[in-house]
């Protein structure tokens, strides 16, 4: 199992390391990654290669503080549904923790909480999704055109688009 973990993480880490300096040199727009887009990087899913290509083009990731919990929830659900084995989930969680060490994390704050509360009134979002979108808005300094939003969740993607983000993954 450790070998599987290393192989999985090395696929992601190699793309991050290869492109980080080159991407910064051209000043490309940073991408905010929702848990729905990070999870397929860690478990075999049809969207995985497309998302790895997105990551290759922009290796600097922004993610919310609660994203690892959402990833763990998604992987556990796949295990309960019989889509992943316990060993595959363990491998994916190890890769998720290693990946989290490389991303820029948006930490909890009063402004994120207040923004999330507003978003719940404006969009049909679940609580965690409103926190994701609020974190992206705070990270962009309320200028959604300054970040791209990588997301596979349809409801969250629609809300992000209505807030002014360019959404990748839909």
Task: Kindly report the CATH number assigned to the domain that includes residue 129.
Answer: 3.40.50.1010
For residue range 43-92, what is the model confidence (pLDDT) as tens digits? Answer: 888 999 999 999 988 888 999 999 999 999 999 999 999 999 999 999 99
Give the range of the structural domain holding residue 124, as residue numbers without chain letter: 2-168
Q: Is the pTM of this model over 0.75?
A: yes
Provide the number of structural domains found in the chain.
Answer: 1
CA distance 67 to 47: 19
51 φ, ψ (degrees, to nearest 5): -70, -35
Q: Which of the 8 DSSP states describes residue 144?
A: G
């Amino acid at each position: 199992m450790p070998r599987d973990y290393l192989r999985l993480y090395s696929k992601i880490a190699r793309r991050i390391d290869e492109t980080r300096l080159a991407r910064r040199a051209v000043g490309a727009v940073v991408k905010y990654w929702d848990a729905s887009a990070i999870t397929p990087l860690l478990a075999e899913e049809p969207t995985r290669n497309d998302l790895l290509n997105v990551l290759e083009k922009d290796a600097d990731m922004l993610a919310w503080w609660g994203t690892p919990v959402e990833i763990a929830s998604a992987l556990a659900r796949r295990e309960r549904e019989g889509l992943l084995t316990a060993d595959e989930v363990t491998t994916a969680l190890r890769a998720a923790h290693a990946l989290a060490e490389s991303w820029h994390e948006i930490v909890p704050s009063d402004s994120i909480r207040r923004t999330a509360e507003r978003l719940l009134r404006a969009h049909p979002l679940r609580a965690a999704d409103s926190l994701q979108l609020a974190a992206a808005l705070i990270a962009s300094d309320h200028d959604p055109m300054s970040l791209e939003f990588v997301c596979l969740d349809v409801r969250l993607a629609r809300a992000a688009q209505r807030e002014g983000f360019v959404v990748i993954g839909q």
